[in-house]
Structures are given as C-alpha cells and as structure tokens.
C-alpha cells in the first residue's frame, strides 16, 4: 500500500501533493514501482496534529481521488475517519476505506463502507492524534489491542459489513510508546491468531525508530522502515503501508520468499 499524502503538513515527506495532476503522477510512479493499493489521506495523523474540518479534508481528497481513478489500475483507498469523506470518495470511485480511529471518531463510517461494498481497515488507536500519547499505557499489550480491535470489528459487523471485507491494523506508533510499537512487531502473529482477520501494518518512517536510529528526520528512516517491514512480513502481515514503494517492494519480495521457505 503506497502512501499518498495530500496534506500541507505531512510528517514524513518534503512537500505535499495537493495538486491533483501532480498527485496522480506520484501515484502512477508508485503503481509502476509495485504498489498494489494507493492510500490517499487529507488529514495529518502525526502526533499532536490538529483536526481538519470536513470541508477542508474533502477539498484536498476528493479532487485527487477523482483524478486517480481515471489513471490507475490498482485500487484507491482513502485514509479518513469521517463518514462523509468516505461516502464522497466511494462515489468518485475509491474502492477501500482506511480508518485510523477504528470507528471511534465516526461509527457511521461502517455503514458507508457496507453500503458501498468496500473493504474497511480498522486501526487501533486511543484518543485522537493530539492526545493519543496520554493513553499509551498497557498492562497486557497484545490482549488490550486485540480486545479493542474486536470492539471496532463488532461495530462494523453490526452495520452490515461482511467479515471478509474487514482488515485490522495494530496501529504502530498510535497511542503507543516506542517499546509498545516494537512489542507489536514481536507479536503480530498473536494478533493475527486472536483476531482471525488480515493484518495491515504501517511502520513507514515513524518516530518509534528514534530509539534505534537516533534523532534523524523522517525521510531518512527508510532503512529502519525496511527492517520493520521485513519483521511484519515474516510475522504474517498481509499488507504493509509505506512511503518508499520501490525500495519496500524489493524488501517485501525477499521477505515473502523467506516466509515461504519457513512455512513450505
């Protein structure tokens, strides 16, 4: 899953792709490099980020989705926590919704996905990006993440979304200290077994890597991302969400061969 940020304040990229033709060019490059899904986001979820209004998010996301579906062969996903944005994006041809709030922000989003027959990613988070580290306290990391994701799954199922259209994301870096994020990678197989759903992992360029890499800027964390992506694939993740698609496509290909040798 290639990340296409259409925000002016992305934590991980130098410069935003707010212009639809420029965003389409970037998406086409990711597709050519091996992306299977392009995930478009119009609201920053970096730690401390302020919320964006529906009108502002729509003005960023919807024109880009409209442009992408004209040119891409791979599905377009929309990274949003708002039902209204999800509905508008699906109407423009988006095929998938990625909700980093796990339906906590707007439970009506589940019904939108059900009505649109769209797969829905449910990510684990506590609070909002501006407050999430206040909630980063765990007694039993895997058990608490799994239990809270089950609550999100139950909301989606109650809205009529078939279980086979659900994907879960343990939320690396969201309401988790660095040690918690590393713990997630060590226990992806446990989460997969506990939830019995496909797992998406999004480690790309995140700040939990500072503990290992030092205080280098986000765009310089791709080697660390490669290690995290390898760990995720070997542990059984089904989708990895990344910025550097060309490089991480190679990482995934090799990691998949190792995983096949283990399980074959």
Closest C-alpha among 216, 204, 207, 188 to residue 245? 204
- Active site includes 241? yes
Q: To 5 degrees, how large is the angle CA 211–CA 214–CA 215?
A: 110
Beta bridge partners of 242: 2
DSSP collapsed to 3 states, the chain: CEEEECCCCCCCCCCCCCCHHHHHHHHHHHHHHCCCCEEEECCCCCCCCCCCCHHHHHHHHHHHHHHHHHHCCCCEEEECCCHHHHHHHHHCCCCEEEECCCCCCCCHHHHHHHHCCCCEEEECCCCCCCCHHHHCCCCCHHHHHHHHHHHHHHHHHHCCCCHHHEEEECCCCCCCCHHHHHHHHHCHHHHHHHHCCCEEECCCCCHHHHHHHCCCCHHHCHHHHHHHHHHHHHHCCCEECECCHHHHHHHHHHHHHHHHHHHC
Residue keyed to tokens 């970096």: 46
Tokens of 54: 């529906």
To the query of whether residue 82 is one of the catalytic residues in this protein, the response is no
**Catalytic residue, candidates 82, 176, 206, 221:** 206
- Pair 113, 152: CB distance under 8 Å: no
Enzyme catalytic residues: 206, 241
């Amino acid at each position: 899953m290639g990340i296409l940020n259409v925000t002016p304040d992305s934590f991980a990229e130098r410069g935003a792709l707010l212009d639809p033709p420029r965003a389409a060019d970037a998406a086409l490059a990711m597709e050519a490099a091996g992306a299977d899904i392009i995930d478009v986001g119009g609201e920053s979820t970096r730690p401390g980020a302020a919320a964006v209004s529906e009108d502002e998010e729509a003005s960023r996301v919807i024109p880009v989705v409209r442009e992408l579906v004209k040119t891409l062969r791979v599905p377009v996903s929309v990274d949003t926590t708002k039902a209204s944005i999800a509905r508008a994006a699906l109407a423009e041809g988006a095929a998938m919704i990625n909700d980093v709030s796990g339906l906590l922000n707007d439970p009506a989003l589940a019904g939108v996905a059900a009505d649109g027959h769209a797969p829905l990613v449910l990510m684990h988070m506590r609070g909002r990006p501006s407050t999430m580290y206040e909630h980063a306290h765990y007694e039993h990391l895997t058990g608490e993440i799994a239990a809270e994701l089950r609550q999100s799954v139950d909301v989606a199922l109650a809205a009529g979304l078939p279980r086979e259209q659900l994907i879960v994301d343990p939320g690396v870096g969201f309401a988790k200290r660095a040690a918690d994020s590393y713990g997630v990678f060590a226990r992806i197989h446990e989460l997969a077994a506990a939830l019995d759903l496909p797992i998406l992992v999004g480690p790309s360029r995140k700040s939990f890597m500072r503990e290992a890499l030092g205080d280098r800027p986000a765009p310089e964390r791709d080697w660390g991302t490669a290690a995290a992506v390898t760990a995720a694939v070997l542990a059984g993740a089904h989708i990895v969400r990344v910025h550097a698609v060309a490089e991480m496509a190679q990482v995934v290909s090799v990691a998949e061969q190792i995983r096949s040798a283990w399980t074959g």
